[in-house]
Amino acid sequence: GAGVSQSPSNKVTEKGKDVELRCDPISGHTALYWYRQRLGQGLEFLIYFQGNSAPDKSGLPSDRFSAERTGESVSTLTIQRTQQEDSAVYLCASSLRGLGPGELFFGEGSRLTVL
């Protein structure tokens, strides 16, 4: 597609359940990023992929969070045993290259609500 696509756009789940969030980057973009945005707050870096490797996982808040990427394509962010504090909008971005100050192109986010 023309832009970064994220699904689902909204997800309501019960505490303790696992969720998967998907990101389709812009075709040809080698770098992919996941951010978390809690209500009324800024963006919190989670993880960065260059191709299908993740040189920077420093932002993942706990071992309940994991992410993978297939080649230079789709990425999945998985949250296991969700907690209420996981409620946030999860934003995905891609860029043409990750080794320089390139523009980030963002999806519209996946809004996660944990009851």
Q: Does 114 help bind another protein (rule: CB under 8 A)?
A: no
Q: Does 25 help bind another protein (rule: CB under 8 A)?
A: no
Spacing of C-alpha 76 from chain mean position:
7
- Distance separating the N- and C-terminal Cα atoms of the chain: 33
Amino acid at position 35, single letter: Y
- The distance between the two most distant Cα atoms of the chain, rounded to a whole number of Å, is 40
Q: Which string of x and - marks every residue 26-65 that binds another protein (by CB under 8 A)?
A: -----x-x-x-----xxx-x--x------xx---------
Q: Does 1 help bind another protein (rule: CB under 8 A)?
A: no
Q: Name residue, tokens 């789940």.
A: 13
Shortest Å distance, C-beta 78 to another protein = 22
User: How many CB atoms are closer than 10 A to CB 74?
Assistant: 14
Residues in contact with 40: Cβ distance below 8 Å, sequence separation at least 6, in sequence order: none
Q: Among 21-29, 62-70, 77-85, 106-114, which window interacts with another protein (CB under 8 A)?
A: 106-114
Residues that bind another protein (CB under 8 A): 3-4, 31, 33, 35, 41-43, 45, 48, 55-56, 91, 93, 98-101, 103-104, 106-109
